[in-house]
Amino acid sequence: MAIRIGIMGYGNLGRGVEYAVDACEDMELAAVFTRRDPASLSIRKTGVPVVSVDKMDAWKDKIDVLILCGGSATDLPEQTPKYAKDFNVIDSFDTHARIPEHFAAVDASAKAGGKVAIISVGWDPGLFSLNRAYASAILPNGKDYTFWGRGVSQGHSDAIRRIEGVKNAKQYTVPVEAALEAVRSGKNPSLTTREKHTRECFVVAEEGADKARIEKEIKTMPNYFADYDTTVHFIDEKEFNEKHGGLAHGGFVIRSGATGEKTAHKHVVEFSLKLDSNPEFTASVLVAYARAAYRIAGEGGKGAKTVLDIPPAYLSPKTGEELRSSLL
Amino acid sequence: MAIRIGIMGYGNLGRGVEYAVDACEDMELAAVFTRRDPASLSIRKTGVPVVSVDKMDAWKDKIDVLILCGGSATDLPEQTPKYAKDFNVIDSFDTHARIPEHFAAVDASAKAGGKVAIISVGWDPGLFSLNRAYASAILPNGKDYTFWGRGVSQGHSDAIRRIEGVKNAKQYTVPVEAALEAVRSGKNPSLTTREKHTRECFVVAEEGADKARIEKEIKTMPNYFADYDTTVHFIDEKEFNEKHGGLAHGGFVIRSGATGEKTAHKHVVEFSLKLDSNPEFTASVLVAYARAAYRIAGEGGKGAKTVLDIPPAYLSPKTGEELRSSLL
């Protein structure tokens, strides 16, 4: 029988999960849950029920894994502990500093309900965390570097849009090639924030707006832009819609370390992603971990887990035997 | 108390394990076992016992994990099942086609003895396998590519040395940059053996040897060289010793896949290694998995496992809490 997946929240990420479930022969989309009026929500896959969150109780035995597709600011801190009581759940909680408290809240709830919850799944946190963990365990004498981009930062784009006179904006985080090369060379450089990434902004200004003021407000904005070399391009709405509609992203995790006599031998371990669609790729990671949650639940596991706790084989639809003969 | 490590076999890999154990605060080297006369073996770390394999019975309770550092052709198929009865063991068995039978033999033995055995640990099989497993589970619509090099192939170097008139030889496997770029572009190219790698050989000929014949014998050697574009450089012994004494290696695992409406969004997941010393890095991977074996044994686990079965957190000396707050 196919693994029955529920989606909670049907934004970019939820739609990505729908596509990712379609790509898996061992899964089926059982329902989409929404806080909106279900009649107002048109989902891609016809025939799949759209259900109000008020009626989730009736679905407890009809969903094997519920994938929570809300945001980390307000949705997930409330939803994941709440639903982990009654469902095996997956979330993509990505506020790094608050992961320990989120883990504790979800763990208590999942254990009380006898369910499995895998939190902070995606690529960072997620695949990047895995690579930091593997590489640092293997090369204890070494240093980790994470670079993001080139890609769209939703938070930074939003921050620009809040400036008076800005009609629309998109911000790209760009890793500095020279810094990447210095890290790859094994030199273990010390890099400031400014040396690692630049920020490139494409802005549509309201008619008659003071562009010089907007540019200055962007470049001096604390936390978001002040510590970076920032470039601002003013473009018209047509160009904005044609060229800046995508949600591409990516990045690099590099560990450089040394072994042997006088630690003379250098080693560089690099993991990188180049993604046309951040939400669709993140959704694909969530769905692979939904398979793991289903298996762990089947073995009687309970409580909160992260990607660091999950054996890689649990993500694959293949058996251990198939994996050993085909890709070990 | 520190994890007590035993090394079986003190060649390049065994010496690498000695260095890697030194780099781990939670481990200590308890003994080195050898088939040679222990008195003839001089190990780097003074004070550590060198013990004949005939006397291993006395060490059953004094070693937490035994790391088997022999070769895959004849040593490990015999040693791993033999020692998995009495010790938790790690090996780097790397004959891909024979992994299923090796796994079965080791599993039966480890289960009979109530021990844990992690086989085929290293980078390929090992870290490359992990990356193939993760990326293929996440992007089911996609294709895997593995490239090796630039690095020394011991087997190919040996094959050249068996040719009459060859005094010494080193063979480098070199990935073709254009093929790497085609894969990274997301085009999912079909690549022949010849299109993926070239082979570069540095040969010291015996005095008066027929170099043209040697070159022809290398380039036409079935399995080893005939399917590749091979370059042969004859050099003198001085240059050989100065420039070709290293054991550098590395490689790339790339999965390119697609998601979304009409699978229009492409994603590229890439993992790469650039290693100054293949045996020292492989040893570092073995030692991290020795930590995992120790933990799994402590939890009552038994039988054969591979890297695909091990939760990443088990490789790290940090607690789950530390990992979640520091690198998730």
Which A residues 233-262 touch B at CB under 8 Å?
259-261
Residue B258, both tokens: 């697609």
Interchain CB distance below 8 Å, B308 and A312:
yes
Task: Give the residue ranges of chain A where pLDDT is below 50.
Answer: none
The string of DSSP letters for B39-107 reads: GG---SSTT--EEEGGGGGGGTTT-SEEEE---TTTHHHHHHHHHTTTS-EE-----GGGHHHHHHHHH
CB atoms within 10 A of CB B35: 13
What pLDDT score does B177 carry?
96
Which of helix, strand or coil describes residue B304?
A: strand
What pLDDT score does B220 carry?
96
Distance (Å, whole) CA A86 – CA B218: 66
What pLDDT score does B1 carry?
84
What pLDDT score does B176 carry?
97
Interchain CB distance below 8 Å, B328 and A120:
yes
What pLDDT score does A154 carry?
87
What pLDDT score does A187 carry?
87
pTM for this predicted structure: 0.96
Distance (Å, whole) CA B189 – CA B259: 18
What pLDDT score does B69 carry?
97
What pLDDT score does A186 carry?
87
Residue B17, both tokens: 């394990």
Task: Give the residue ranges of chain B where pLDDT is below 50.
Answer: none
Question: Is A325 near chain B, with CB under 8 Å?
Answer: yes
What pLDDT score does B29 carry?
98
Residue B112, both tokens: 């009979």
Which of helix, strand or coil describes residue B243?
A: helix
Chain B residues touching residue A321 (CB < 8 angstroms):
100
ipTM summary value: 0.96
Question: Is A276 near chain B, with CB under 8 Å?
Answer: yes
Interchain CB distance below 8 Å, B324 and A306:
yes
